[in-house]
Amino acid sequence: MYAIVEIAGHQYKVQQDQRLYVNRLKHDEGAKVSFDQVLLVDDGSKVSVGAPAVPGAAVNATVERHLKGDKVLVFKKKRRKGYQKLNGFRPSLTEIVIKDIALGVKPKKASAKKAADGEDAAEAKPAAKKPAAKKPAAKKADEDKSEE
């Protein structure tokens, strides 16, 4: 069983007990994390594709440690101009371990309630009417002269 999940802006193909390095997460080491942006789930017999996410699916993981990745070198050059620039950085990463892929998770009631409240509020307030357009003062003066 595998899933394609969006974590920190990137999409990853994950399986149970897989060790994964992702962009730095704000969670502490040892914390349990759940990702609900599951784009695809394949359980061996059935493939579920979300639009954009599979409803009720979640990927549970634990944060193992925070670390810095290998150095990435960025080299810029303009030929025949004598311009060369070398920069480098070490990306901040988080190591996570995928614990399980859950399919039957029900959506939270609080989020459903907020959505219902948002719909009621939208229905309660009618759209404001725009005031009638006023003629500019210069045009009124021209019209008054033409009437004389």
pTM of the model: 0.64
Residue 28 domain boundaries: 2-114
**Based on the number of CB atoms within 10 Å of its own CB, is 138 exposed (0-12), middle (13-18) or buried (19 or more)?**
exposed
Q: Is residue 103 part of a domain?
A: yes
Vertex 67, ends 65 and 70: CA angle to 5°?
Answer: 145
Q: Give the chain's domain count.
A: 1
Q: Report yes or no: 96 and 63 within 8 Å, Cβ to Cβ.
A: yes
Q: Is residue 100 part of a domain?
A: yes
pLDDT tens digits for range 109-139: 554 555 555 555 556 666 677 777 776 666 5
Q: Report yes or no: 45 and 33 within 8 Å, Cβ to Cβ.
A: no
The larger pLDDT score, comparing residue 50 to residue 110, is at 50
pLDDT tens digits for range 73-113: 999 999 999 999 999 999 999 999 999 999 875 655 554 55
Q: Is residue 98 part of a domain?
A: yes
Q: Is residue 120 part of a domain?
A: no
